[in-house]
Structure 1
């Protein structure tokens, strides 16, 4: 089974995460930030990665620690579930339209964390979530999951649609990338032999 759990406990957050890469997209998410919960539900549903996330964060200060630490824990769980990354497709790309918005995502499960972010907002909040934290969530997730991740909004106006199309595009690209390649299920997809 390609599944893993992570518990992350600091003075700022207490987090429990479970993922199953070969799931059905079922989820149970409670971060204390409604819009982030909604986005993580989209990530799970459209990647088919089962996701169980429970966060107790210092939201009385702000949303930064909850956002960052949830991403770090989810990314770490994904990386653990991937193991040596043997047999995966490794690359994935997807376009996700949402009404007037269209976002493209490309992922390489390379073990080399990197984020290219081309998405701008015209408002400071998404629900109660600080818009500037969306990029930080993806950056933190890419770091611990070991992903090279490119996210580019091609067009759109509605900030909710921009973010949701980004999460859905990443989910679909990630789904492709972590799938087992039936032609090479016994090897690591790299000429180096490791990822």
Structure 2
């Protein structure tokens, strides 16, 4: 029997970091109010505003990555929830990071891209709790009807990094940990 794909190995190797992020996030309590939801979006914005440019630079493939950027969706959601452009621009941002190449970028992107899947479930919960329609939920809508196809394309690209699996796994675990710490400031 052949080795499992990098995607499957990555899912196993990052399971504890992923579970720690979900556990510590406490998203249901955080989004119980619109203020809490807005605050969570603000923290997510600060993370994506730093990590997306780093991933884009290290990956060096705008045709693949640019449609996966989600900071604009976060900006749109925050504006819908009442933040002005200057207020959004003044939100705290995660510290700058350096990714040394495409394998590290793919590990980091695994975390961000994977969140589009579970995020759609969270988005439905938020919509029901606060009576939101399409507006205010751009981030938690993932890539809309293209989410599944984009995830499949990501997995195919990811598996091409099989020879650099350890680098991809280490970057994904580091990204899960960085996101967990950023979203849960002390």
Structures share fold, TM-score greater than 0.5:
no
TM-score by length of 1: 0.29
Q: TM-score, normalised by structure 2?
A: 0.30
Which structure dedicates a bigger proportion of its chain to strand? 1
Instruction: Looking at secondary structure, tell me which structure has more helix per residue.
Output: 2
Higher relative contact order (CA 8 A, sep 6+): 2
